[in-house]
A and B are shown apart, each in its own frame.
Chain A
Amino acid sequence: MRKIAIAGSPNVGKSVMFNNLTGTYATVSNYPGTTVEVSRGKCKIGNEEFEIIDTPGMYSLLPLSEEERVSRAILLEEEPCCVLHVIDAKNLERMLSFTLQLLEAGIPIILVLNIMDEARGLGINIDTARLEKELNIPVVATVSTTGEGMDILKGKIEAHVKKFC
């Protein structure tokens, strides 16, 4: 079974994303570092079933804590066919830095701009089409707690997998 990993900084909604995709439950809280163990589940996208891996939060590819080491090991050793880099849309600038590292490493990613509702509430507007062009990867805006954008995300995963794996 091919794998899809969910990665990103702490407290950006990775576990909610995981729950949405797999229909199972990983503990979700409003503070960084809720996920200390790796959750795995299954999700059918298109006609294929994938293994979804939820990783503890990491700030960069250079790990500082034990959980970050665990997360990096998953990205490097399990060779997921696609990594969903989930970021908090409110902090695009700060979080893009890690996106760039993942791209630099040649890891196949889809950028997920999550928590779009709060970003919109702050008056933030992000041109996702332009961002896709700049980074040359798929970009999706989502609100994982309400499920907004999940269908688009699945569509992009399907297209991505067809093209590259």
Chain B
Amino acid sequence: MSKSFAKHIGYDDPLEIYLSRLEGLLSADYRISRRSVALLILQEDKEILNLVQEKEKTHRQEIAGIIEEAKKHFSHPLNYIISLCRQKEAALISGQVMSVKKNTKNSLRSIVSRAMMNPFIGGPFLLLVLYYGLYKFVGVFGAGVLVNFLEEHIFSSHVNPIMISLVKNTVHFQPLQDLLVGDYGIITLGFRYAFAIILPIVATFFFAFAIIEDTGYLPRLAMLVDQLFKKIGLSGRAVIPLVLGLGCSTMATIVTRTLPTKRERIIATLLLALAIPCSAQMGVIMGLLGDKPLGLVIWLLVIIGVFLIVGFLAAKIMPGELPSFYMEIPPLRLPHLWNILRKTFVRLKWYFFEVLPLFVFASVFIWLGQLTGVFNFLVKIMEYPIRLIGLPSQASVAFLFGFFRRDYGAAGLYDLKKAGLLSGNQLVIGCITLTLFLPCIAQLLMNIKERGLRLGIAMSVFILFFSFAVGFAVSQIFLLFHLHI
């Protein structure tokens, strides 16, 4: 790489001496200037230190000695001193090239911006955002109006009958008919769930989320909840993966990479897997409990309670320093419709490619299970914990679905409710347990990929038992207080 760009910034005297001593010891090629490598060594950059130790075997001791000497010489950390020098230089240059004509108008933007971060105004504002953005738009419009339309008027009355008669007329092999258009068939169940239930919900969520994120509201929300999040071992920064998790927890698990410490990443991953329902699942649940406001409130309180308690305990169990929080607050902006539509489309595409194969796979798997009798066996096993939490045994099928996709499981409950098999109490317990219940396969795989096999599996086992324990506790409380919802 051409060194002609290397610019010389002067540092304070003693620092310069250490730098030139280090530079003198470096003989290998690092693809960046020696001065830059020397600076990173002094700031004890682990990667660079390892590299240097490998490449400069003969000078190892000497280099370590210089670092120690330099550290002793200054009362502040070296990276602070180095940044300070650089910042001075930057201020000098920008002072020469930049002029500001004071803009006197106290803009509406800054007033709104401050209000969003003020607990007394920001809190109610958050509730408004959740109520209109999430509940009204995604829950009532997406999961209610759109799903009903697609379910009743497109699939049940047109697509399914046509496909069923088409398959029955062309395929004369009974098991193959079942695979395609049976009770759990690829077309009748997999495609119907994907297009009529999941698609409208996820699409409305991603659309609402895109608007919220493009205005710049999320970083302000991060500031608002930072104090609360500190108690559960996270910082305000974690707001972004967690809110995105309300859309798709799998996608959000990738975004936990933006969290600075390993501890925060683990806690956020656990909470995403346990207590953050994805949009599809949430939408279906809102649809299920839509006519039972009290049930919806109980569901919400239990999930929030679990979120806070598990987060608090996880933070206690996992030692680590308090996360520091530093985030740029971007200006509030009016979102561009084009960017929002495009982003919604890109996320939907990602989601669909992730989901549809799994739906088909689930249908095939259940079909195989039915042919061999394994499916019925699993349903029977599942019936024990299901009855324990007070649900009818038919619900065990929904929970088995939940293994494949969280929303798939909730959609299974939807079918049960339509058949009139669930009482109000049972619906609430079912929704709570399914929300907490195992992460879907895609998320489990992502957890393993991001957090490692051991932690990924351990989280799932914990969640499996924990979700049923909470479901059981809630059902006992209902019994104890004779609550009927």
Q: Is the CB of B90 within 8 A of A103?
A: no
Q: Is the CB of B343 within 8 A of A123?
A: no
**CB < 8 Å neighbour of A105 from B36, B97, B346:** B36
List the B side residues contacting A76 at CB < 8 Å: 30-32
Whether B189 is near chain A, meaning CB under 8 Å from some CB there, is no
List the A side residues contacting B124 at CB < 8 Å: none
Interface size on A, residues (CB 8 A): 57
**CB < 8 Å neighbour of B216 from A30, A33, A134:** A30
Whether B172 is near chain A, meaning CB under 8 Å from some CB there, is no
List the B side residues contacting A96 at CB < 8 Å: 90, 93-94
CB distance from A21 to the nearest CB of B (A): 17
Stretch at the interface among B63-71, B79-87, B356-364, B468-476: B79-87
Q: Is the CB of B102 within 8 A of A123?
A: yes
Within 8 A of B (CB), among A69-107: 69, 76-77, 79, 92-94, 96-97, 99-101, 103-107
Whether A158 is near chain B, meaning CB under 8 Å from some CB there, is no
CA distance A100 to B2 in the complex (A): 16
Q: Is the CB of B7 within 8 A of A135?
A: yes
List the B side residues contacting A128 at CB < 8 Å: 97
Whether A61 is near chain B, meaning CB under 8 Å from some CB there, is yes
Whether A32 is near chain B, meaning CB under 8 Å from some CB there, is yes
A-B contact count (CB 8 A): 156
Q: Is the CB of A145 within 8 A of B336?
A: yes
CA distance A125 to B40 in the complex (A): 34
Q: Is the CB of A25 within 8 A of B33?
A: no
Q: Is the CB of B260 within 8 A of A64?
A: yes
**CB < 8 Å neighbour of A77 from B31, B36, B98, B215:** B31
CA distance A128 to B83 in the complex (A): 24
Q: Is the CB of B32 within 8 A of A106?
A: yes
Whether B226 is near chain A, meaning CB under 8 Å from some CB there, is no
List the A side residues contacting B6 at CB < 8 Å: 103-106
CB distance from A56 to the nearest CB of B (A): 8
B191-222 vs A: 1/0 string, CB under 8 Å?
00000000000000000001001111011000
Q: Is the CB of A30 within 8 A of B214?
A: yes
List the A side residues contacting B128 at CB < 8 Å: none
CA distance A118 to B95 in the complex (A): 19
List the B side residues contacting A105 at CB < 8 Å: 6, 32-33, 36
List the A side residues contacting B61 at CB < 8 Å: none
Q: Is the CB of B98 within 8 A of A92?
A: yes
Closest B residue to A78 by beta carbon equals B31
CA distance A118 to B332 in the complex (A): 11
Q: Is the CB of B7 within 8 A of A100?
A: yes
If A27-B343, A28-B343 touch, whether A11 touches B5 (CB-CB below 8 Å) is no
Q: Is the CB of A97 within 8 A of B258?
A: no
**CB < 8 Å neighbour of B100 from A10, A33, A65, A124:** A124
If A29-B343, A134-B96 touch, whether A67 touches B5 (CB-CB below 8 Å) is no
Within 8 A of B (CB), among A26-72: 27-33, 36-37, 60-67, 69
Q: Is the CB of A101 within 8 A of B343?
A: no
B211-249 vs A: 1/0 string, CB under 8 Å?
001111011000000000000000000001000000000
Q: Is the CB of A69 within 8 A of B342?
A: no
CA distance A128 to B96 in the complex (A): 11
Can you sample 11 A-B contacts with CB below 8 Å?
A29-B214, A29-B343, A30-B335, A92-B97, A93-B90, A94-B87, A105-B32, A122-B103, A124-B100, A125-B101, A130-B96
Partner-B contacts on A (CB < 8 A): 9-11, 25, 27-33, 36-37, 60-67, 69, 76-77, 79, 92-94, 96-97, 99-101, 103-109, 118, 121-128, 130-131, 134-137, 145, 164
Taking A136-B5, A136-B7, A164-B4 as known contacts, 10 extra A-B pairs with beta carbons closer than 8 A to each other, sorted by chain A number, are A30-B335, A36-B258, A62-B43, A65-B259, A100-B86, A104-B8, A106-B4, A107-B1, A123-B102, A125-B99
